Amino acid sequence: MSFKEGHFKTYLGERKDSSNLYRTKDLQIEYYRNQTDTFHIHWISNFEYELLKVNPKSKLDSIPFKVRITAIKNNYYKFRGAYQGSDFIQTGTTHIIQE
């Protein structure tokens, strides 16, 4: 099972709404409601990666978002993520839809 490429669904925190995302070796394309965001993805290890927006529209968008996988279960993983230099921590789960 690999979380590096494929089709995934992510749930943030305890929310019921989700985003769909597709990953290739170098990109992550994310669909949330009526918005599409494209990120460069850089895997630091099998359990940690960074996302950087391809076309940043704000200062925040130009800061890398670092994600650490904290647990792996069956076809999903739990994660914690934060923008570099920020105290705000985002948690959630990412489920494999198709590898």
Give the CATH superfamily of 6-98.
Cathepsin C, exclusion domain (2.40.128.80)
Amino acid sitting at position 29 = I
pLDDT band of residue 16 (cuts 50, 70, 90) is confident
pTM: predicted TM-score of the whole model, two decimal places: 0.90
The pLDDT tens digits of the residues spanning 74-84 come to: 899 999 999 98
Helix, strand, or coil here: 16? Answer: coil
- Name the pairing type of β-strands 6-12 and 90-98: antiparallel
Helix, strand, or coil here: 49? Answer: strand
Q: What's the rounded Cα separation, in Å, for the pair 39 and 44?
A: 15
pLDDT band of residue 23 (cuts 50, 70, 90) is very high
Q: What is the CA radius of gyration of the chain?
A: 13
| Residues 86/9, Cβ–Cβ less than 8 Å | no
Ordered by start, the domain boundaries in the chain are 6-98
Q: Is the pLDDT of residue 1 over 80?
A: no
- Helix, strand, coil share (%) of the chain residues, nearest 5: 5, 65, 35
